[in-house]
Amino acid sequence: MKFFATVALLATAVAAAPSQRLFNLKTSGASNSSHNDLYISVGHGLISDPLNSEAVFSGPSANRAAAFSFVNGTILLDTESKAPWALDLINVAGVRKERAQISVKPTHGSKGFSVSRQGVEGPSETWDGWLWCPADMAAGQFLPNLHFLSKSVQDPALPAGCDKIQLHAVPQSSA
């Protein structure tokens, strides 16, 4: 009888566990209207860093958008292989803008994200807003990509060619 009670309790706990809701990330609030309503995808952004991919802009259609979930302050990329990739805010030496990168290792994903009606915000100790930035061929970036403003970088206030944006979590209808 004790065995059946344990199995029933376990089944109830599994059924009550929260499911990870999948969402896409979509831009808004840009001063340049062509930078609004763009979805985030994942692409290999830097030729000098073959192990990581970057958060890039796929366009106004959700067809090529990456799917994400939110778990304990980390934004995880949903992949077919279920590889544990996470959104990671990294510093780029010698560059005045920081970039949001998709890291292969879950331990390197940034913690402290929050998702609300106002949008997705990063860890408060470093994060000061999202940026749409153009491709930088000299740095090996081939697509416009997602960057963030770091509180530790004061000059320039806005990197050349970049546009301050907001990111919103748009629930996937199949999630």
Q: What is the pLDDT of residues 98-123, one digit of tens each?
A: 888 877 666 678 899 998 888 999 98
Identify whether the C-beta of residue 36 lies closer than 8 Å to the C-beta of residue 27: yes
CA nearest to 124, candidates 62, 73, 175: 73
Domain locations along the chain:
22-171
Separation CA 129–CA 140 (nearest Å): 23
Question: Does 2.60.40 match the CATH number of domain 22-171?
Answer: no
Separation CA 141–CA 99 (nearest Å): 11
Tell how strand 23-28 and strand 163-171 pair up: antiparallel
Write the single-letter amino acid at 166: Q
Give Cβ neighbours of residue 65 (< 8 Å, ≥ 6 apart).
24, 25, 26, 39, 40, 41, 58
CA nearest to 129, candidates 87, 95, 89: 89
Quick one: tokens of 32? 């340049």
| Average of per-residue pLDDT across 149-159 | 80
Q: Which residue in this structure is represented by tokens 């879950």?
A: 106
Measured from the Cβ of residue 106, the count of other Cβ atoms closer than 10 Å reads: 15
Cα 132–127–35 angle (5° rounding)? 15
Per-residue pLDDT tens over the stretch 37-83? 999 998 865 555 656 688 889 888 888 899 999 988 999 999 887 77
